[in-house]
Structure 1
Amino acid sequence: MKTKLLLFLLGCLPLGLLAQTVTISPDPFAETEQITLTASNIPWTGGVYLWAWHFDSTGKQINNPDATGTNFNNSPETARFTDNGDGTYSYTLTPTEFYNNTGITRIAYLVKNQNGSQQGTDIIKNVGAFSVNLTAPANTTTSIEGGTSFSITATAGVTADFRLLANDTPVNTQNATTSYTFTTTPNINTDYRLEVTQTGTSNLVVRSFRTLVKPTPTAAAVPAGLKDGFNFDPSKPDEATLVFYAPGKEFIHVKGNFNGNDWSLDNTYLLNYDAAADRHWIKLNFDSATPQDLLYQYVVEYAISVADPYSTLILDEFNDQFIEASVFPDIPAYPVGKTSNPVSYIERDEAVYDWKITDFTPAKREDLVIYEVLLRDFDDAHSFQSLIDRLDYLENLGINAIELMPVQEFDGNNSWGYNPAFHMALDKYYGTRNALKTLVDAAHEKGMAVIIDVVYNHATGQNPYFRMYNTSNGGTGGQPSADSPFFNQTATHSYSVFNDFNHSKEATRSYVKRTAQYWIEEFKIDGYRWDLTKGFTQNCSASDESCTNAFQQDRVDVLKTYADMQWEKDEDFIIIFEHLGGTTEEKQWADYRLSEGKGIMLWNKQTDPYNQSTMGYAENSNINGASYKQKGFSNPAAVTYMESHDEERLMYKNLAFGNSSGSYDITNINTSLKRMEAAGAVFFTIPGPKMIWQFGELGYDISIFTCEDGSVPDNDSCKLSPKPDGWDYLDNAQRVALRDNWQRMILLKKQLAVFETSNFTLQGSASNLTKKVLLSTTQAGTDEPNYVVVLANLNVTNQTITPDFQETGTWYDLMTNAEYEVTNTTAAITLQPGEYRIYGNKTANLSTSVAQKEQNLRVYPNPANSSFQISQEVERVRIYTIHGSLLKDESFDSGVSQVIDVSDLQSGLYLVKAERDGIEMTSKLIVN
């Protein structure tokens, strides 16, 4: 499971005249009376903090109390205001307790951001008033039925004059009394102000409160065929119907930038209610002045404003400003000052995407080679387009499935994405909706499936269904309330973060189905990797890890239900669970509907044994767990990986902690890269789906714990920090050699039937780090091997290995097609440290592809000093830098010597493109 820290890109707004206001209630007040400071119109992000001081009875100024700290540039969390979820922030205190003093004559304060770069003005308030207690109403805002009695009662500590105003109009006066009682019957929303003056003085205390009259929604059935959320037909651009599931909520309004509403509460936009469906809904007809970029929110029982839980895009008041126009152009301005919190965003004029590929079928699961991508760190542009631009690279590597870390709307911009807020909305930080569709289409053109990581274990405090049912009165903090139809009040497993979904509830299951099926239908996504499936039980507690890791039938059942829901939309849909738990539970999923050609796949983490092997340490280096048979599966359901987003990089640990013997030292980068080749040999050749973490094929060696400044602390504080991409590695010949050899292994895996066999064994000695894979098949073609023997020495000294060839005769090194005569199947073979062999009893006649063309083309000598030649006659040769700049372009007639002079080139890595009969072939050249 993911590290639970979240990182956000927070920009500093220019310091200037700030429009925030701070009110105090009650006012005036006694030093022993509890008061609440309320701040609004805050123009900065990152929270509101209190800076405070006071004056004693002598008039002496006394500095800050402990709660607000002594460092103006680094306020503690005890000084933080509570976010009320409606654009206001509150801080409650009792002066004598807060300041730890008595005889307080004045309190002083200002509001600021945490580091003090943004601040308001000083406010000083006198302390002292006769006491007034408003006993009814109990809350500052009360929702009532129109025409019902509403009682107002108050008491004063001394004789006082009471004056009540309703919407600024005096309605009642009672003088010279210590007790006030008045009953009214409001029929409209009313703001009340009770002014209490000590009789015979000018001492005034004011108490303010309001009543909101509950409207009665029109009873009407939801029109047939509509789904929860925004129902819109682009052919009817001037109308839409909103459907909102909000159980237990009596009335709901919608507000936004449509029809001149301008974010106001108006009973014209009170939603209808369908009691049978338990849904609120409204049909909107847009006038000509309504923008094409439609923005809206629901107002739930006058209390909180939320975006549609089924939004497909949202506006974020704090983070959108940091998204480049090149990634997502023309983001509408947030309606600052008119509302707060996320806003639903609909592009009514969004171009309908014209799909090129409509019948894509993913590769067989046993042939899957998945490339896991965090778009934020894959390229500086952090966009879907930047991945599209690199698809040729992934295609040449042999990748047939891309797994994107979460792209559903998450809090902030700078994130791994495991902090989801809106499960149906695309996060704009990576690009537009059509940009994602373009990526999927382009990947399908190249034979690659697109899998996305989905997070349905939890949701953050921004999720509308959390805010509607929580203990913070619609804020983003607190915990789910007891009446939540979606969330557990406390987590029922031991790996919880944020707010834990209750998957036994029908509301949650419907939410998951609606949002998950949407991505399949709308974006033609080919598969999901389900994060933290251990959390889908209701049987455990946050403190009981043994329960969480034990077999739980409810978890098995609900996840099978979710699998059915995905296959309902796409019978070939790829389903992968990150369970990393007991095989008894995993086997039930692996076998589920297997007779129909389905079955669920499971993440199979083998980081530790592979990294122990590449570092040259025998302890815990047994890689037999890379076999799905070792897990007890009857089919290749285990997605095995050496690295994922969540693991330390193998190459980093190789270079930091690698073993050595004499001159052989794994902390030498070239030595370590060669060992990664050997690891690949006993990874890709084991039957079953495989996954590579981005740039693993180039030996990515930046620690997962590296901070943005390049430091690596002794803790995980920087685990989620941005990391540099690996494209500069293409300038390094040894790293490219690792990539090329993995490319060859992947091609063997995908094209030779022997690597799909179930007749294979893994043998490895934990004492000497030798590894062996034996494979046999009866399904191979007549011109391809039906026996394969893979040998690898991951020790730091020479090792002798018994190969156990399945037959005598001529065998072939499948990496080079070099012949190897076997006269004795058990004759020992000696391998140098880090050396490996992949032997087949026939040559590998691989089909024509870009990768195969590169294998056929040979430049020699390579590395070259002053010139090189081509292994086959060609018509044209061009030499490029690794970044694509053309340096040489030569044409040749048939029979003419094809020696190419490179004496004028600097040492480095180059691309050589040769052309013959209209076919281009590419190879790499190292110039010394």
Structure 2
Amino acid sequence: MKRSLRVLLVGLLALVSSGLAAQIITTDPALPTSGQAVTIYYDATLGTGGLKDYTGDVYAHTGVLTNLSSDNSDWRYVLTSWGTNTAETKMTRESANLYSLVIGPSIRQYYGVAAGETITHLAFVFRSSDSSKEGKGDGGSDIFVEVFKDEYTISILTPGHSVVADPEESIVFEAAANSTSVLSLFDNGVLVKSGTGLSLNHSFSYSSSGDHWIKVSGTSGNDMASDSVFVHILGVQAEAPVPEGLKDGINNVDDQTVQLVLYAPGKVHAFVVGDFNDWTPGSEARMTKDGERFWITLNMLELGKEYAYQYLVDGSMFIADPYSEKVLDPSHDKGISEATYPGLKSYPTGLANGIVGVLQPGQTAFPWEDSAFQPPESEDLVIYELLLRDFIAAHDWKTLSDTLDYISNLGINAIELMPVNEFEGNESWGYNPSFYFAADKYYGPAVDLKAFIDACHSRGLAVIIDMVLNHSYGQSPLVQLYYDNSSKKVTADNPWYNVDSPNPVFSWGYDFNHESQATKDFVDRVNRYWLEEFHVDGFRFDFTKGFTNTPGDGSGYDAPRIAILRRMANEIWTINENTYVILEHLAANQEEYELSLNGMMLWGNQNYNYGEAAMGYHDLDKSDFSGISYLERGWIVPALVGYMESHDEERLMYKNKTYGNSSGEYDIQDHVTALGRMELAGAFFFSVPGPKMIWQFGELGYDYSIDYDCRVCSKPIRWDYNTGKRRRLYQVWSALIGLKTSEAAFRSDDFTLTVSDESKRIEINHPDMDVRIIGNFDVVQQSVDPSFSATGWWYSYFEGDSLQVTDLNGTIALEPGQFQIFTTKKLSKPEITARLLEYEANPASFQVYPNPFPGWLQIEPVPENSRLTVIQSSGQVIDEMELQENQDQVDLSTLPPGLYFLIRRTRNVAPVYVKVIRE
């Protein structure tokens, strides 16, 4: 069997046509080993062609892959940092677009690789001297050249994989050895040609159909080696209807039988190769054709055994099944630990080309225990958006299941998982999808994801998954099946994608054509699969603004797009009428309004406005976050999923600590003050009726920038934040979420936001109770009008105190960052055990007595221009008063029994503190 490829491109071409890939770099000798020198030749016209016709100096950015590399991105022994020009990495121009580089005196010495480390590949990206131009593999991939073991080796260089050819078609064979050899070429065991040297070439053609094993064997002294490749000569194509009831992809018939169906319009023939037929595209592996589809029945399989397999289409395209529920990746599976994915099947190295699918006859159904689960009403949703990679160091579903108490204790009732289906690479946000039916293995086995969802349902938590159906990336077999290497685009005859995206501003990967029936069918299959197989409760569809063929940036009203989304949502609701359909749309308000009337929910981004408010900047109404209200947008359905933070937005705590405003001693960039501003923002966020979403660790004041290292790079996982002052923020937000989800008033459609300036107010009216939230977003004290709806008793939620309102036009003085929530119904005071401020008594400069005190308190001394602030043990400011010089008593008889801190502030003197107890 053909053992391996001499050149491996980690990108589209390597997965489709390895024969062409080998032309980007050729080597002398043909089979380089680590202990010898090698000259590499780079053809700048191939791959991305970024250095084609370039006339300046060209340099190689180069390193190696070894047995210690975690994946193909883990280059080792890189000679220079990017952009550094050295003589040892400068290429020699052989002709206009052909360059050479001598790597010696040996590969190991050139790179300085340790003696005990096995070099498997040389790694390259070529660049201009100023790094403005790059030469890479197709699709922008790195370029890799195989390094053979330091032993006698023979390899068939051409063809690079099994061959399927027509009768009379010429097939060229080229074999090479790494030392002078006696070489022999056999066809099905019959000697065809022999010779002595470093290579042996021959051309074959066959007049009739059949299967052939071509073998090259050689001897050099006492050493012997061989290599072989399989050839199938095509006969008449069998045609028959696809058996009734089969769907595209894998169909498990019984414990030993699987039927496969491949949808490939315009393709001539297809084979299935895999563990079940030794990866040979022989006569028995050829699929029967039915118009636009090919199908085959696999018999005598072993119950429960995993079989890796691929399709070989039209003799040159190796693709994994687009409907694979598990795939094996030659580049990235090595980066998945045994702890993350126990017993992961090994990739069939030397047998397959690129990513392969996996089938398993007789799979055991998952034992779901969630039949009684009822997802929350959409308007009550409080969603926790989560990227598993940056939430749990182990990045696996089992460990995440162990943290569900943390999430549910916060009051969250839904978790939104960033993409969980297979995407390119391992460490990623996941918006570069490749396989839509396979759970990404970097997070663990699919069965563990099911167990996680089941565990969520047992706690009353809904699970929403992020689904990317705007585009795919180059590893998708749907792309590969119709890919034009010269234009780097999909071909016009592909059934799923637009050749060019109609959106010239916002475009990623390969753009789905959502007006194509094939795309509609595929989208429906994907959504049905995750609803039925994984019991997900909803989808957050990424960039639905792109679900259109209307040219432009997608911001304007688009009736065809509405029709596309309505059709998709209606199909989802035929499967489960309670499914959440959430769109990251961010388009024209009128369009979003119409979509909301059709039962869909829309993301509502208010990051900028809440950020400005939290930082204390209010000019030009920049802190006006009234857009968080669906009523303010003119909607009649609470379908706006509002958020202050998401995976895609800067963290508010980072903004506070980096850019926060200040006045005198009040500085929002101070850590404690910044946390207090997060409490303030939360009070004006969770209390607005309608669904809400927070980003992971926002409840602990996560303060690393979204651009830490880079925007999509891994971020520090700070579970140590779950203590002290940050823990108080968690508790406050938990109390706010509990208030929102338990009280009917927060489902009211009679509410108003007055939030355009420093003093902000929310008014909620409801038969059960009225609510008033007031807050000071300034950096100095403000008097705020609560606009109470009635005189009488109102109750402070966080303090448990009551306030008798006699003047509806009265104001309440609030310190900077302070807020109050008043209700007409007395509620249980939330238990906030963590303190925002930790005060220590300073008896040398500030004395009070008696302590504990009954009501009046003696204070000594009282300098001129002093103010006294009274703070509850929770950190909430509850009173402030001016002190007259030499005033020695204050009346605090209205305070309920408990622990308090008194702060005395005097001009030009540091504040002093004392702890007191009210009897």
Relative to the length of structure 2, the TM-score reads 0.71
- Change in 2 beyond 3 A, CA 1:589/1:99: closer
TM-aligned CA deviation for residue 361 of structure 1: 2.0
* Contact kept in structure 1, 2:42 and 2:99, CA below 8 Å: no
Task: Write the distance in 1 (CA, Å) between the matches of 2:756 and 2:404.
Answer: 39
* Contact kept in structure 2, 1:698 and 1:726, CA below 8 Å: no
TM-aligned CA deviation for residue 150 of structure 1: 7.7
List aligned pairs for 1:716-865, cutoff 5 A.
718-732=710-724, 734-766=725-757, 769-778=758-767, 780=768, 785=769, 787-844=770-827
- Change in 2 beyond 3 A, CA 1:807/1:752: same
* Contact kept in structure 1, 2:453 and 2:534, CA below 8 Å: yes
List aligned pairs for 1:267-278, cutoff 5 A.
267-275=283-291, 278=292
Tell me whether 1:459 sits opposite 2:477 in the alignment. Answer: no
* Per-residue deviation, residues 281-309 of structure 1 (Å, max 9, x unmatched): 11111245x87112111111211111110
Amino acid of the structure 1 residue aligned with 2:607: T
* Per-residue deviation, residues 257-290 of structure 1 (Å, max 9, x unmatched): 11xx111111112111223xx32111111245x8
* Contact kept in structure 2, 1:166 and 1:190, CA below 8 Å: no
* Contact kept in structure 2, 1:424 and 1:516, CA below 8 Å: no
Q: Which of 511, 536, 541 is matched with 1:530 structurally?
A: 541
TM-aligned CA deviation for residue 114 of structure 1: 3.1
Task: Write the distance in 2 (CA, Å) between the matches of 1:106 and 1:838.
Answer: 72
* Per-residue deviation, residues 746-792 of structure 1 (Å, max 9, x unmatched): 111111111100100000243xx1110001113x2xxxx2x111101
Which residue of structure 1 lines up, in the alignment, with residue 693 of structure 2?
691
Q: What secondary structure is seen at the aligned counterpart in 1 of 2:687?
A: coil
TM-aligned CA deviation for residue 253 of structure 1: 0.8
TM-aligned CA deviation for residue 424 of structure 1: 0.9
Which residue of structure 1 lines up, in the alignment, with residue 648 of structure 2?
646
Q: Which of 249, 252, 267 is matched with 1:229 structurally?
A: 249
Amino acid of the structure 2 residue aligned with 1:535: G
Which residue of structure 1 lines up, in the alignment, with residue 623 of structure 2?
621
Q: Which of 273, 289, 294 is matched with 1:280 structurally?
A: 294
- Change in 2 beyond 3 A, CA 1:385/1:864: farther
Task: Write the distance in 2 (CA, Å) between the matches of 1:314 and 1:390.
Answer: 28
Which residue of structure 2 lines up, in the alignment, with residue 512 of structure 1?
523
Tell me whether 1:387 sits opposite 2:400 in the alignment. Answer: yes
TM-aligned CA deviation for residue 816 of structure 1: 2.9
Which residue of structure 2 lines up, in the alignment, with residue 112 of structure 1?
122
Deviates more, 1:381-390 or 1:690-699: 381-390
Q: What secondary structure is seen at the aligned counterpart in 1 of 2:676?
A: helix
* Contact kept in structure 2, 1:361 and 1:572, CA below 8 Å: no
TM-aligned CA deviation for residue 190 of structure 1: 8.1
* Contact kept in structure 1, 2:257 and 2:361, CA below 8 Å: no
Which residue of structure 1 lines up, in the alignment, with residue 880 of structure 2?
none
Which residue of structure 2 lines up, in the alignment, with residue 248 of structure 1?
266
Task: Write the distance in 2 (CA, Å) between the matches of 1:340 and 1:306.
Answer: 8
* Contact kept in structure 2, 1:50 and 1:112, CA below 8 Å: no
- Change in 2 beyond 3 A, CA 1:96/1:657: same
* Contact kept in structure 1, 2:625 and 2:756, CA below 8 Å: no
Amino acid of the structure 2 residue aligned with 1:771: K
* Contact kept in structure 2, 1:67 and 1:98, CA below 8 Å: no
Q: Which of 191, 216, 237 is matched with 1:217 structurally?
A: 237
List aligned pairs for 1:201-600, cutoff 5 A.
213-232=233-252, 236-258=254-276, 261-275=277-291, 278-287=292-301, 292-348=305-361, 350-472=363-485, 478-493=488-503, 494-540=505-551, 544-545=552-553, 548-592=554-598, 599-600=599-600
Which residue of structure 1 lines up, in the alignment, with residue 680 of structure 2?
678
* Per-residue deviation, residues 236-263 of structure 1 (Å, max 9, x unmatched): 32111111111111211111111xx111
Deviates more, 1:426-435 or 1:450-459: 426-435
Amino acid of the structure 2 residue aligned with 1:487: Y
* Contact kept in structure 2, 1:421 and 1:463, CA below 8 Å: yes
TM-aligned CA deviation for residue 838 of structure 1: 0.6
Amino acid of the structure 2 residue aligned with 1:499: Y
TM-aligned CA deviation for residue 726 of structure 1: 3.0
Amino acid of the structure 1 residue aligned with 2:26: L
- Change in 2 beyond 3 A, CA 1:464/1:183: closer
Which residue of structure 1 lines up, in the alignment, with residue 135 of structure 2?
none
- Change in 2 beyond 3 A, CA 1:314/1:819: same
Task: Write the distance in 1 (CA, Å) between the matches of 2:33 and 2:589.
Answer: 52
Amino acid of the structure 1 residue aligned with 2:643: Y
TM-aligned CA deviation for residue 505 of structure 1: 0.9
Q: What secondary structure is seen at the aligned counterpart in 1 of 2:645?
A: coil
TM-aligned CA deviation for residue 187 of structure 1: 4.0
* Per-residue deviation, residues 93-121 of structure 1 (Å, max 9, x unmatched): 994323589xx999999872139998748
Amino acid of the structure 2 residue aligned with 1:480: V
- Change in 2 beyond 3 A, CA 1:361/1:42: farther
TM-aligned CA deviation for residue 216 of structure 1: 3.2
- Change in 2 beyond 3 A, CA 1:386/1:53: closer
Amino acid of the structure 2 residue aligned with 1:478: K
Which residue of structure 1 lines up, in the alignment, with residue 96 of structure 2?
97
List aligned pairs for 1:603-622, cutoff 5 A.
603-619=603-619, 620-622=622-624
Counting matched residue pairs gives 717
Q: What secondary structure is seen at the aligned counterpart in 2 of 1:413?
A: coil
TM-aligned CA deviation for residue 684 of structure 1: 0.7
TM-aligned CA deviation for residue 349 of structure 1: 5.9
Task: Write the distance in 2 (CA, Å) between the matches of 1:284 and 1:616.
Answer: 67
List aligned pairs for 1:655-670, cutoff 5 A.
655-670=657-672
* Contact kept in structure 1, 2:31 and 2:147, CA below 8 Å: no
- Change in 2 beyond 3 A, CA 1:106/1:285: closer
* Contact kept in structure 1, 2:502 and 2:549, CA below 8 Å: yes
* Per-residue deviation, residues 408-446 of structure 1 (Å, max 9, x unmatched): 101111111111000111101111111111111111111
Task: Write the distance in 2 (CA, Å) between the matches of 1:688 and 1:140.
Answer: 57
TM-aligned CA deviation for residue 51 of structure 1: 4.2
TM-aligned CA deviation for residue 76 of structure 1: 11
Q: What secondary structure is seen at the aligned counterpart in 1 of 2:266?
A: coil
Task: Write the distance in 1 (CA, Å) between the matches of 2:204 and 2:714.
Answer: 61
Task: Write the distance in 1 (CA, Å) between the matches of 2:490 and 2:106.
Answer: 33
Task: Write the distance in 1 (CA, Å) between the matches of 2:369 and 2:246.
Answer: 28
- Change in 2 beyond 3 A, CA 1:429/1:731: same
Relative to the length of structure 1, the TM-score reads 0.70
Tell me whether 1:632 sits opposite 2:634 in the alignment. Answer: yes
Task: Write the distance in 1 (CA, Å) between the matches of 2:161 and 2:589.
Answer: 55
* Contact kept in structure 1, 2:162 and 2:281, CA below 8 Å: no
Identity within the alignment, % = 37
* Contact kept in structure 2, 1:52 and 1:108, CA below 8 Å: no
Unmatched segments (≥5 aa) in structure 2: 9-22, 44-54, 64-77, 84-91, 108-120, 126-142, 151-159, 173-184, 194-202, 216-228, 842-919
Q: What secondary structure is seen at the aligned counterpart in 1 of 2:442?
A: helix
TM-aligned CA deviation for residue 842 of structure 1: 1.2
* Per-residue deviation, residues 844-900 of structure 1 (Å, max 9, x unmatched): 269xxxxx7x57x999x99999xxxxxxxxxxxxxxxxxxxxxxxxxxxxxxxxxxx
- Change in 2 beyond 3 A, CA 1:43/1:316: farther
TM-aligned CA deviation for residue 819 of structure 1: 0.5
Amino acid of the structure 1 residue aligned with 2:259: T
Aligned-pair Cα RMSD in Å: 4.3
* Contact kept in structure 1, 2:369 and 2:454, CA below 8 Å: yes
Q: What secondary structure is seen at the aligned counterpart in 2 of 1:465?
A: helix
Task: Write the distance in 2 (CA, Å) between the matches of 1:613 and 1:140.
Answer: 62
TM-aligned CA deviation for residue 393 of structure 1: 1.3
- Change in 2 beyond 3 A, CA 1:301/1:38: farther
Task: Write the distance in 1 (CA, Å) between the matches of 2:319 and 2:507.
Answer: 24
* Contact kept in structure 2, 1:314 and 1:425, CA below 8 Å: yes
- Change in 2 beyond 3 A, CA 1:495/1:470: same
Unmatched segments (≥5 aa) in structure 1: 1-17, 24-33, 55-63, 79-92, 124-138, 153-164, 172-180, 194-208, 593-598, 708-717, 847-851, 866-928
- Change in 2 beyond 3 A, CA 1:683/1:254: same
Amino acid of the structure 2 residue aligned with 1:638: L
- Change in 2 beyond 3 A, CA 1:252/1:440: same
